[in-house]
Amino acid sequence: MDFKIVDGGTITTPKGFKAQGVYAGIKRKRNDLGILYSTNPANAAGVYTLNVVQAAPLKLTKESILKSKQLQALVVNSGNANACTGVEGDKNARKMQELVATGLDIPNELVGVASTGVIGQQLPMDCVEKGIEMALADLSENGGPAFSESILTTDLIEKNIAVQVEIAGNTVSIAGSAKGSGMIHPNMATMLGFITTDAGIEHEVLQKLLATATDQTFNMITVDGDTSTNDMVVVMANGQSGVNIDESHPEWNKFVSAFTHVSEYLAKAIARDGEGATKLIEVTVTNGASFEEAAMIAKSVIGSSLVKSAIFGADANWGRIVAAAGYSGAQFNPDKIDVYLMGTLIFQNGMGVDFDEEAVQARMQEELIPIEINLHQGEAQARAWGCDLTYDYVRINASYRT
Amino acid sequence: MDFKIVDGGTITTPKGFKAQGVYAGIKRKRNDLGILYSTNPANAAGVYTLNVVQAAPLKLTKESILKSKQLQALVVNSGNANACTGVEGDKNARKMQELVATGLDIPNELVGVASTGVIGQQLPMDCVEKGIEMALADLSENGGPAFSESILTTDLIEKNIAVQVEIAGNTVSIAGSAKGSGMIHPNMATMLGFITTDAGIEHEVLQKLLATATDQTFNMITVDGDTSTNDMVVVMANGQSGVNIDESHPEWNKFVSAFTHVSEYLAKAIARDGEGATKLIEVTVTNGASFEEAAMIAKSVIGSSLVKSAIFGADANWGRIVAAAGYSGAQFNPDKIDVYLMGTLIFQNGMGVDFDEEAVQARMQEELIPIEINLHQGEAQARAWGCDLTYDYVRINASYRT
């Protein structure tokens, strides 16, 4: 590992970032509005949900980054997704952008907006306005924890990470905060990710880096296969470390590893914190013909309700794993693959292997469930993360919105 | 409706078909081996799972129909899927074929073989051999119910239907029997469908008819999105009604309607009998640009764990329905669609509609939950069926194989 993890690091660990989270009254009892701010305009990039139904703030943020290639601030509310809210919803997202821009005396298009929460209800704009005022008044280098709390809906755990990497003798920091899918109330949006760095990176390079890292991390997690109207990951790179970097830099790969680690940490934290989840499942597909095919298989296994239920029940059920790989759409010969569960070989030569089922079952009580599928086709590898399917998932999602 | 449903009809309702189901001892207490027989060789066609992991009997049946274009008998066992069983599994499937062929004094390739049950265990061939002997000795025009019982794993309900249609003054019968996805033990295969008719139809025409009907019916159901290693639908047309028919026949469409009804009835019966299901969900997508896109949307909604959980909880949750349509991969403008639940308009112009939520919620206690999405794009329509996601699904699938 060419980088170090910053103990207690948050999204404000990189130089020049401030944040705050406050209770604005959009939802019942927790912080529900956060602002992230860079003291100078930062180059920015974003990746967004592929759902054709897209929330107003998501469309606005996408449009703003396309236009300015930069962001200097992000405002995020939880408790209300501002999705399927029509013309009034668009107006409210723009109002949030404008309030923050005016407060910070910066152009509107330098402010990103994100929302997560109930779909189909209008934002209580009086609360939002008051919250923005409060958060702006209190922006601080110590505001990371409050910010990360404010973006949660009913996630159980705040998701923060910061790493530092030495580039050309200077320390560069990369940090992130995310909101996952622990949704007690139905109709909640799923995933928001925010990444900051004090490296200097051009918009196009940053966009490419974010897209690649997202494909390997955020796009490799599944809680229930449902893609929300509000999913987005946004990165801001403000250059305050004094280090400028791109693909031609000799230490680019080192930087990419650190950046990808931040994404992967957040993605795994989201999967682990899935609704009703008791276990983190990690499926690694090795020696595939291509990343795409390996990824299809990994995601198919992680998304199988039968596999997820079996793991909840600590059942070393290779039949379901092999069947889910088989319907992924990727081509492979089932007679040539090896499947490992908890590190134990359980399937080979097209058949189950004699293994100590009781021992494996006992070890499946652990919180991390690794599954490995070796395709023996080529050299590509893909990894996906998910969680088990539990009674609590059904309970959480079947309960009426009250 | 240009056809009539035969009261108490079964797979032996069409002329010249006999069947039997017996208890061979493959599984604990119920009939577990069935044989279907036509007194003359019948033209045959089949559709099979797209899973790259395919069970031995499925591969053998596919190969046999490709070779002979006909079948005269089908042998089916439940309790053991003969999947992921290697060379011995292939040998056992061939042995089943041979035992039936020898018993009936017909060529091997006129016998189809299907298995459903636990994956990864070898068939108890002594039981199978005894069962085949017993069933052959007792083939009868009254054996339909016993046959349909013998193909179930832990489905709750036998699935039988027969219809009759008048073609050129003659009565033609079409019938079917199916096995769905009520699986108490994990690792069970999912869907088997068998259709018989006494119409005379050439192999190529029959194959095309079956493929089209399957795309509109069996391929439009989802219990949990998992596609098994053993799924197949096979049709036998023995011509004993004296009516030969193909696309050029003036009454072809009438025949197709009756045939499709048989498929649809069985498909819906499978969805309704899904694991732990308490409700049948029917999603109709109307006025789409193409059948393919309409079908993508219908299947995406029916497959959403969030939608399925909401319906279990009688939650009129349009946000989840719209979001699931949105990530289907089909293109549409969410501002232009109308969504109906239980016949009530709940979403229009990109927003929720004011509706009597309490009344709709009360009606969601009913067993059939219709959802309609009008895309206002074109003239294509697709319909998909599924079931709710319940505590019992998790209980059934998390329980260890014992």
Tell me the mean pLDDT in the region B159-168. 96
CATH for A87: 3.60.70.12
Q: Domain residues for A90?
A: 3-272
Q: How many domains does chain A have?
A: 2
**Joined tokens for residue B149:** 């019982």
Residues B86 and B185 in one domain: yes
Q: How far apart are CA B94 and CA B79, in angstroms?
A: 18
Query: CB burial class (10 A; 0-12, 13-18, 19+) of residue B81?
Result: buried
Burial B371-390 (b: 16+ CB within 10 A, else e): bbbbbebeebbbbbbbbbbb
User: Residue B91, annotated ligand binder?
Assistant: no
What gap in Å lies between CA A358 and CA A363, rounded to an integer?
9
User: Measured between alpha carbons, how far is residue B374 from residues A87, A208, B285, B394 in Å?
Assistant: 22, 38, 6, 33
Most confident of A26-30, B24-28, B120-124: B120-124
Q: Closest to A305 (Cβ–Cβ): which among B225, B310, B350?
A: B225
Q: Do A117 and A189 contact (CB within 8 A), yes or no?
A: yes
Contact (CB<8Å) B52/A319: no
Let me know whether A259 and A307 are in one domain.
Answer: no
Of B96, B58, B76, nearest to B22 (Cα)?
Answer: B76
Residues B336 and B369 placed together within one structural domain of the fold? yes
- Residues in chain B within 8 Å Cβ distance of A52: 326-327, 330-334
Smallest CA–CA distance from B84 into chain A, residue: A351
Catalytic residue among A154, A190, A197, A390: A190
Q: In terms of domains, do A256 and A300 share one?
A: no
Average pLDDT over residues B115-120: 88
The neighbour count for residue A286, using CB atoms within 10 Å, is 20
Q: Does the pLDDT value for residue B336 go beyond 80?
A: yes
**Model pLDDT, residue A46:** 96
Cβ contact B394–A309 (<8 Å): yes
A226, A361, A397: residue with CB nearest B324: A226
From the list A48, A52, A74, the residue with the least C-alpha distance to A62 is: A48
Of B178, B177, B275, give the one whose Cα is nearest residue B226: B275
Residue B188 has pLDDT above 90, yes or no: no
- Mean pLDDT along residues B395-402: 61
Q: What is the dihedral of CA B203, B208, B213, B219, to 10 degrees?
A: 110
- Judge: B349–A226 Cβ closer than 8 Å, yes or no: no
The separation between the first and the last C-alpha atoms of chain A, rounded to the nearest angstrom, is: 47
In contact, A208 and A167? CB cutoff 8 Å: no
Whether residues A390 and B391 touch (CB distance < 8 A) is answered with no
- Per-residue pLDDT tens over the stretch B249-281: 999 999 999 999 999 999 999 888 877 889 999
Q: What is the DSSP letter of B18?
A: E
- B52, B361, B397 member nearest A334 (Cβ): B52
Query: Is the confidence at residue B183, as pLDDT, over 50?
Result: no
Along chain A (402 residues), what's the average pLDDT of each consecutive run of 10 residues?
Answer: 94 98 89 97 94 92 97 96 94 98 98 92 96 98 97 84 96 95 47 96 98 92 74 96 97 97 94 85 97 94 88 90 91 95 96 93 94 97 91 72 42
Rg of chain A, C-alpha, whole Å: 21
Tell me: pLDDT of B23 over 80.
yes
B314 neighbourhood in chain A, CB within 8 Å: 400
Q: 3-class DSSP state for residue A254?
A: helix
Based on the fold, state whether residues B284 and B266 are members of the same structural domain. no
- Enumerate the H helices of B54-180 as residue ranges: 56-68, 86-104, 125-137, 144-150
> Is A402 one of the annotated binding-site residues?
yes
CB contact at 8 A, B375 and B288: yes
| A272, A307, A342 - which closes a domain | A272
What CATH number should be reported for the domain holding residue A391?
Answer: 3.10.20.340
Q: Are B134 and B245 in a shared domain? A: yes
> How high is the pLDDT of residue A154?
67
Q: Which of B272, B303, B326 is the last residue of a domain?
A: B272
Six-digit token string for A71: 């962001």
Answer yes or no: do A243 and A391 share one domain.
no
Residues of B known to be catalytic: 190
Least Cα separation, residue B135 to chain A (angstroms): 30
**Residue A398 and residue B315: Cβ atoms within 8 Å?**
yes
Q: Are residues B105 and B47 in the same domain?
A: yes
Ligand-binding site membership of B190 (annotated): yes
Residue of chain B nearest A306, judged by CA positions: B397
Strands B221-222 and B380-387: parallel
Query: Strand B280-288 to strand B159-167: parallel, antiparallel, or no bridges (unpaired)?
Result: unpaired
**Cβ contact A186–B397 (<8 Å):** no
Which residue, among A385, A373, A291, has the nearest Cα to A325 in the 3D structure? A373
Structure tokens at A145: 């924890």
Chain B interface disruption, residue of A82, A187, A285, most B CBs within 10 A: A187
Can you give the pLDDT at residue A225?
63
Same-domain check for residues A263 and A306: no
Strand order through the sheet with A338-341: A221-222, A380-387, A280-288, A368-374, A338-341, A344-348, A351-352
Answer whether B22's CB lies under 8 Å from B33's CB: yes
CB under 8 Å to A97, separation ≥6 — which residues? Answer: A60, A64, A75, A108, A111, A112, A113
Q: Catalytic site residue A229?
A: no
Q: Where are any strands of DSSP class E within A258-400?
A: 280-288, 338-341, 344-348, 351-352, 368-374, 380-387
Query: CB–CB of A400 and B314 under 8 A?
Result: yes
Q: What is the pLDDT of residue B400?
A: 42
Tokens coding B257: 């309607």
Output the pLDDT for position A402.
37
What distance in Å separates the CA atoms of residue B52 and residue B136, rounded to the nearest whole number?
A: 33
Digit-coded pLDDT (tens) for B212-250? 999 999 888 876 666 778 889 999 999 999 999 999 999
The CA distance from B13 to B140, in Å, is 11
In a 10 Å sphere around its CB, with 0-12 CB exposed, 13-18 middle and 19+ buried, how is residue B70 labelled?
A: buried
Our CA-based measurement puts residue A211 at a distance from the nearest CA of chain B, in whole angstroms, of 19
Please list every residue in chain B whose beta carbon sits closer than 8 Å to the beta carbon of residue A82: none
Whether residue B13 sits in one domain with residue B146: yes
Q: According to the annotation, is A154 in a ligand binding site?
A: no
Give residue B48's identity as a one-letter amino acid code.
Y
- Note whether B39 and B131 are same-domain residues: yes
CB pairs under 8 A between A and B: 196
Q: How confident is the model at residue B30 (pLDDT cuts 50, 70, 90)?
A: confident
Contact flag B393-A305 (C-beta cutoff 8 Å):
yes
For residues A62 and A166, membership in a common domain is answered with: yes
Q: How far is CA A400 from CA A10, A120, B222, in A?
A: 35, 15, 24
pLDDT value at residue B180: 82
Packing angle between helix B318-326 and helix B305-312, nearest 10 degrees? 160
pLDDT for A52 equals: 85
Q: Specify the pLDDT at position A186.
A: 36
Helix (H) or strand (E) holding B237: strand B232-237
Mean residue pLDDT across chain B: 92
| d(C-alpha B250, C-alpha B236), whole Å | 22
Check whether B166 is labelled as a binding-site residue. no
How far B42 CA lies from chain A's nearest CA (Å)? 31
Count other Cβ atoms within 10 Å, centred on residue B356: 11
| Span B336-356, average pLDDT | 95
Distance CA A239, CA A152 (A): 28
Comparing CA positions, the residue from A311, A298, A290, A316 lying closest to residue A385 is A298
Of all residues in chain B, the one with the smallest CA distance to A400 is: B315
Angstrom distance (rounded) from CA B47 to CA B52: 14
- Domain's final residue, options A245, A272, A299: A272
| Interchain pair B401, A317: CB under 8 A | yes
pLDDT at residue number B68: 97
Average pLDDT in the B337-345 region?
97
User: Is residue A90 a contact partner of residue A96, using CB atoms and an 8 Å limit?
Assistant: no
